[in-house]
Structure 1
Amino acid sequence: MSEGHGEYEEYEPHGRKVPVLGPAVIWLTPGTLHGYGSDARGWSEHWVLFEGESFAAFEASGLGGHHRPVQALARPVDDADEIFDQLREAVGAVGPRAEIAASVATQRLLLAILDAADPVEGTTDGASVIDLVSRDATRPLSVAARAAAVGLSTRELGVLVRAATGLTVNDFVIEVRIARAQSLLAETALDVGQIAAQVGYDDAAYFSRIFHRRAGAAPSAFRRQQSRGQIDENHPSRAESIPENPMI
């Protein structure tokens, strides 16, 4: 969304509302009941549907995904209109060349978003704080330690995280961990214990309970759903379309 104001609302797995102020990116993920829209003045937007390793890597970076559905940008995305023109041309064609062109344009868009999201050097704005907390989410830190790591009080950090994500600091950390676990379950052959350790849980049984509560399925069941490419009521499969072949 390049300009305008509005709101993103998430109904399940837990209710939250996050204000949207352009320029910004809204990340919509499978299995999340949501709604979003502009205020009475309207807004200017582009959208693209894609999946695959590029998105998994982007989400793992903490810069977008289920744990952070609204990402504020420091400035509009460079060459957005040109990139989307390329995407429209690519998805309007057929064949391997068109699929590659669509993938390249999508990755170019992700890089442009990364560039637009870079905070101004020397500042500690809300977006950069959220990025730092997200990147440290798998570390076993208290809320006070997370706040100290970004130079804020516990209360200040809580206010920033709530404003950006609609969640408490602890809930945000859990969301980041579960999102990374979902990517690992879908994209690797690591066992549940290994994945638990990678996302910050020493106890695999405890991790499995948290994962089930947040994702609506046990880790093993989630992996089966992804590998079969099935769609169930809670988790529409990401295998519905060609990986990294975007629709706009």
Structure 2
Amino acid sequence: MTPTASWSHYASPRHAMRRFLISCHGAGEQAGLQPPFRQRALPTRGLVYISEGRGTYEEYEPRGLQVPVEGPAVIWLTPGVRHGYGSDARGWSEHWVLFEGEPFAAFETTGLGGRHRPVQKLLRPVEDADAIFRELCVAVAAVGARAEIAASVATQRLLLAILDAADPAEGPAAGATIVDLVTRGATRTLSVAERAAAVGLTARELGDAVRSATGLTVNDLVIEVRIAQAQSLLAETRLDVGQIAAQVGYDDAAYFSRLFRRRTGAAPSAFRRQQARSRFD
């Protein structure tokens, strides 16, 4: 395993940076056997680039999934999702960045950072990763607007380099992935067999593909997508709960409400108050 100097720096970018740029809130790199993370939830997005080695990524309730990691690969961390990860007994080489910002949506359209695919296998190591992280080490440790912009630029260079190293078959460049296709049709009332037939697979093939990419069953993926869409509708519209339930694929509003609460920890009405009070009350 290639030796790597261990370091970590954190920053608190000003609001304008967070709004208009991809802002970097921290970066670092480690190699060898490190203590694993357990039951951690982040306030920002994050990525962990594993250049060499093997390990496991896991999420806790409600998903309870474990996904193997083998470098080169990227672990995508979603704000608020309780997770853990770590190498096997041989250790691994990792580089990590904490970031946020609306411009990341442009990278998401390419298939990077998907909530339903927390571990992304790469075809090859990320080009210039060491050079980019040297820039991040200097920029994140410094103070001021110029340093924040430099850290933002380096983070975007890293994202672009990850995109270049990713498997084209897993992104929009070669057409939608199987997971993308299931996601797009998630609000339709279909059996697993019908969803499989729609993408030209058997039910078992579809289940294997979805589990390999996301750690979820097909039905759990459908529920995750529906609940995510319902959260957006609750926060951004005045539609009542019954209308939202119907839009995301549930005819029974009471069942939808129970499922929503079980998955998010809050009833739909409570979630709306938390997320949209300033706009609708």
Q: How does the TM-score come out when normalised to structure 1?
A: 0.70
Specify whether residues 208 and 73 from structure 1 end up closer, same or farther in structure 2 by C-alpha distance, changes over 3 A only: farther
- Superposed, which structure 2 residues align to 1:114-193 within 5 Å? 114-120=163-169, 128-138=177-187, 141-179=190-228, 182=231, 184=232, 189-191=236-238
Specify whether residues 27 and 221 from structure 1 end up closer, same or farther in structure 2 by C-alpha distance, changes over 3 A only: farther
1:85 is matched with: 134
- Superposed, which structure 2 residues align to 1:195-206 within 5 Å? 196=244, 200-201=248-249, 205=253
Specify whether residues 38 and 49 from structure 1 end up closer, same or farther in structure 2 by C-alpha distance, changes over 3 A only: same
Secondary structure of the structure 2 residue equivalent to 1:213: helix
Q: If each structure's strand is expressed as a fraction of its own residues, which one has the higher value?
A: 2
Could you tell me which of 107, 112, 119 is aligned with 1:70? 119
Specify whether residues 43 and 76 from structure 1 end up closer, same or farther in structure 2 by C-alpha distance, changes over 3 A only: same
- Superposed, which structure 2 residues align to 1:1-248 within 5 Å? 1-55=50-104, 58=107, 63-120=112-169, 128-138=177-187, 141-179=190-228, 182=231, 184=232, 189-191=236-238, 196=244, 200-201=248-249, 205=253, 208-219=257-268, 221-222=270-271, 225=274
Cα offset, 1:162, TM superposition: 1.9
Partners of 2:74 and 2:229 in 1: how far apart? 20
Partners of 2:224 and 2:109 in 1: how far apart? 12
Specify whether residues 53 and 227 from structure 1 end up closer, same or farther in structure 2 by C-alpha distance, changes over 3 A only: farther
Percent identity of paired positions between Structure 1 and Structure 2: 73
- Count of residues paired in the alignment: 221
Range that drifts further, 167-176 or 88-97: 88-97
Partners of 1:89 and 1:185 in 2: how far apart? 41
Cα offset, 1:39, TM superposition: 1.1
Q: Is the 8 A contact 1:161 1:167 kept in 2?
A: yes
Listed one character per residue, the Cα deviations across residues 69-92 of structure 1 (whole Å, up to 9, x for unaligned) are 212222222322222223222222
Secondary structure of the structure 1 residue equivalent to 2:89: strand
Partners of 2:258 and 2:136 in 1: how far apart? 41
Specify whether residues 109 and 133 from structure 1 end up closer, same or farther in structure 2 by C-alpha distance, changes over 3 A only: farther
Listed one character per residue, the Cα deviations across residues 130-158 of structure 1 (whole Å, up to 9, x for unaligned) are 34434554555542343234332111111
Cα offset, 1:66, TM superposition: 3.5
Q: Is the 8 A contact 1:8 1:17 kept in 2?
A: yes
Larger Rg: 2
Specify whether residues 131 and 189 from structure 1 end up closer, same or farther in structure 2 by C-alpha distance, changes over 3 A only: closer
Cα offset, 1:167, TM superposition: 1.4
Q: Which runs of 5 or more residues in structure 2 are unaligned?
A: 1-49, 171-175
Q: Which runs of 5 or more residues in structure 1 are unaligned?
A: 122-126, 229-248
Partners of 1:136 and 1:113 in 2: how far apart? 28
Q: How does the TM-score come out when normalised to structure 2?
A: 0.63
